Structure 1
Amino acid sequence: MFATLFILLYVAHLVSDYALQTDQQSDRKALRTAAGWRALLSHAGTHVIVSAVALGAGTALLALPLTLPAASAVLVWVGLSHGAIDRRWPVRWWMENTGSRSFYRAGGAPFVDQTAHVTALALAALVAAA
C-alpha cells in the first residue's frame, strides 16, 4: 500500500505544483504580506484538494484500505508541510547551514525544494500505510 499511496500523492503533487500553480502564486507565496499568505494558502489548498481526489480515487478504484482518519492526517500533513516548505526560507536556511551555499547561489534551491516535498510525501505514505 505504501507504493500506491506514494505514487498517488506524488502525481497529485506534480499536478498541483506544475499544472495548477499560477504565476501569481509562485511569485508571491514567499512574501511576508497578506498577498503572500493568500498565495501560499491557495497553493497549499490546491495540494490538499488534488491529494484528496487522488486518495479518494485510489480508495474507490483500487480498494485501498485507507481509513478516513488516516486520509485526513495525510491531507493535513500535505497542506502544512507544503506550505512550510514553500515559504522558501526553510530551503535557504537548510542550504546555507549544511554546506550548500554555493549550490544555493548557483540556483539549486528548486531541487532542494522538490526533494523536501517528495520526502514529506514519502513520510505521509509510510505513516498511512503502517
Structure 2
Amino acid sequence: MFASIAILLWVGHLLADYPGQTDHQAVHKAEKSARGWRANLAHAATHVLLCGALLTIGSAVLGWHLPLLPAAVAVLWIGATHSLIDRRWPVRWWMEHTGQREFLQHGGAAYVDQAAHIAVLVAAALFLAA
C-alpha cells in the first residue's frame, strides 16, 4: 500500500508543479508581498486538491479504506510544506549551510527543492500506510 500511495502522491505533485502551476504562480510565489503569498497559497492549494483527488481515486479503485482524518492531515501537510519550500529561502538556507554554495550558484536549488518535496511525499505515504 505504501508504494501505491507514494506513487499517487508523486503523480499529484508532478501534475501540480508542472501543468497545474501557472506562469504567474511560478514567477511570484516566493515574493515577500501579498501577491507572492496569494500565488504561493494558490499553488499549494493545487497540490492539496490534486493529491486529495488521487488518494480518493486510489481508494476507490484499489479498495483502500483510508481514514478521512489521517488522509486530510497528510494532504494538508503536503500543502503546507510545499508552500514553505516554495518560498525558496529554506532551500537557499539549506544549501548555504551545508556546503552547497557552488551548487546553488549553478542551478542546484531546483534539485534540492524537488528532493525536499519528495521527502515530504514519502513521509506522508509512510504515515498513511502505517
Bin of the TM-score, shorter chain as denominator length: over 0.9
Give the TM-score of the pair, scaled to structure 2. Answer: 0.98
**Aligned residues between the structures:** 130
1:80 deviation in Å?
0.6
Write the letter of the residue equivalent to 1:32.
Answer: K
1:65 deviation in Å?
2.5
Aligned to 1:124: 124
Give the TM-score of the pair, scaled to structure 1. Answer: 0.98
Aligned to 1:87: 87
Aligned to 2:109: 109
Write the letter of the residue equivalent to 1:17.
Answer: D
Matched, 1:96 2:70: no
Mapped partners of 2:115, 2:65: distance in 1:
28
Mapped partners of 1:63, 1:77: distance in 2:
24
Write the letter of the residue equivalent to 1:14.
Answer: L
SS in 2 for 1:66: coil
Query: Where in structure 2 are there 5+ consecutive unaligned residues?
Result: none
Mapped partners of 1:20, 1:11: distance in 2:
12
Aligned to 1:39: 39
Mapped partners of 2:78, 2:63: distance in 1:
22
Within a 5 Å distance, the mapping from 1:49-64 to structure 2 comes to 49-64=49-64
Residues 69-117 of structure 1: per-residue CA shift (max 9 Å, x gap): 1111111101111001000000000000000000000110000000000
Query: Where in structure 1 are there 5+ consecutive unaligned residues?
Result: none
Aligned-residue CA RMSD (Å): 0.6
